[in-house]
Structure 1
């Protein structure tokens, strides 16, 4: 962490690798932080899914919204992640995440959540389903709590990887949906679908403790309660979800 504070990124990365290899939970989680998947240099984005050279009719600028193809692929990945999380939930139960274990969703969450109960994890799983319900109803996914923000970060990562690595599958999922300018612009989605990206601070070894509302940095940056027990507290500036809704999974 000292190297990171000094701006020595290569050295700090090396130390995190060593700590992760030694089983340090925070260091392991650091490498699981979700982000937009980008193609290797020189590789185009999705051979048949999006063509940057396509000529589009210029129209008056309108407020941004996800294109139908983008919505479809994001919805598919929310559903895929939910199915995988449901399987992992059945395997884990109330057992804590092991630093040396293998996981496909809950094990990728910040280390501060690794000891949470089955009921807590099931609410995180519901966050994936709630966001997918937004899309099903014809709206962009709107995260209403920290759990939904984290779920959406992972869905965007999965969707962006799919458009790069599995163009045939993307073509299959979007069959019959017209191509539009802005299809699969996941970076824009990441910029505009969130109020902020503070929830990703939980992965930074240098910011451990900032999740607590009494932490000086938390108070200064007005981060809010990012402790696991605060993940489902809905933001005050969004419309609440139906408190009587059930669970899809």
Structure 2
């Protein structure tokens, strides 16, 4: 029988990370590990596929596993290479259609437009990247006032967080990704905890500043997304996106921003990730991008 070398190129979009993670973990549980500490190897790989989508895909798309499903064929070896398409972006025109009377629970005539969603999504992803970069470079090092310029994001947080540990910082980085994922699914990025309130606030600040400093770059980013009256209505974003979830007690004369500031000051940073009672809890096993 002849030996055949086959090259397969697949374009894949991850649409359900929890389902992908569960499938990858099931595969790893069934693998046989040889050598020193096989159970330690299994635990390490389980941890990797639980936190990294590329690792999860690698477990599921391994050549030996793929070939084993084809009758009459024996795997002679092979390699797997996975690369991320850098220019992928959600179709915000489809996700946030302007012709809809309501979008994600819009109140009155205001809506989250495709261009606003696109710019906000970009800033959330950028902040997540920067927060993970801070984590990779500084780990548990505290932020020092004289060295704030050495930090991309974490030095912008309230000073009481400057000495927080690595796990806390990693969870904070994930809040940007969580809100960006909401937008990528066509949902309004409604903060579900205090940490997400802070993350969305930073993204709105950066989106406003980028639009003011580099309007042409923003225009180029938008491509052929439709134009609308409510594009880049940052005050409207504050009014409509904040305060949907969260405690409604406290001083009724305070606006949402001031009420959030009071809660941030009164709550230890460890408690900033506790979901609001009226908000759906995010999947606790969703893992981290890094």
Q: TM-score range by the shorter chain?
A: 0.5 to 0.7
Q: Kindly report which structure 2 residues correspond to 1:184-203, keeping only aligned pairs within 5 A, or say none.
A: 184-195=232-243, 196-197=256-257, 198-201=259-262
Match of 1:65 among 97, 106, 111: 111
Change (3 A) 1:199 1:91: farther
Cα shift at 1:99: 1.4
Cα shift at 1:62: 4.1
| CA distance in structure 2 between the partners assigned to 1:175 and 1:62 by the alignment | 28
Would the aligned equivalents of 2:128 and 2:173 in 1 still touch at CA under 8 Å? Answer: yes
Cα shift at 1:89: 1.2
Counterpart of 2:140? 94
Gaps of 5+ in 2: 1-100, 244-255
Cα shift at 1:211: 3.0
Q: Note the alpha carbon deviations across 1:127-166, whole angstroms, 9 max, x for none.
A: 0000000000001101111111000000000001111111
Q: Normalised by the size of structure 1, how large is the TM-score?
A: 0.65
| CA distance in structure 1 between the partners assigned to 2:223 and 2:108 by the alignment | 26
Counterpart of 1:231? 272
Q: Kindly report which structure 2 residues correspond to 1:84-233, keeping only aligned pairs within 5 A, or say none.
A: 84-102=130-148, 103-195=151-243, 196-197=256-257, 198-201=259-262, 211-212=265-266, 226-233=267-274
Higher relative contact order (CA 8 A, sep 6+): 1
SS at match of 1:237: coil
Pair member with larger Rg: 2
Change (3 A) 1:62 1:190: closer
| CA distance in structure 2 between the partners assigned to 1:183 and 1:153 by the alignment | 18
Cα shift at 1:125: 0.3
| CA distance in structure 1 between the partners assigned to 2:217 and 2:242 by the alignment | 27
Would the aligned equivalents of 1:65 and 1:140 in 2 still touch at CA under 8 Å? Answer: no
Question: Cα RMSD between the aligned structures?
Answer: 2.0
Would the aligned equivalents of 1:79 and 1:128 in 2 still touch at CA under 8 Å? Answer: yes
Would the aligned equivalents of 2:111 and 2:230 in 1 still touch at CA under 8 Å? Answer: no
| CA distance in structure 1 between the partners assigned to 2:231 and 2:288 by the alignment | 31
Would the aligned equivalents of 1:68 and 1:177 in 2 still touch at CA under 8 Å? Answer: yes
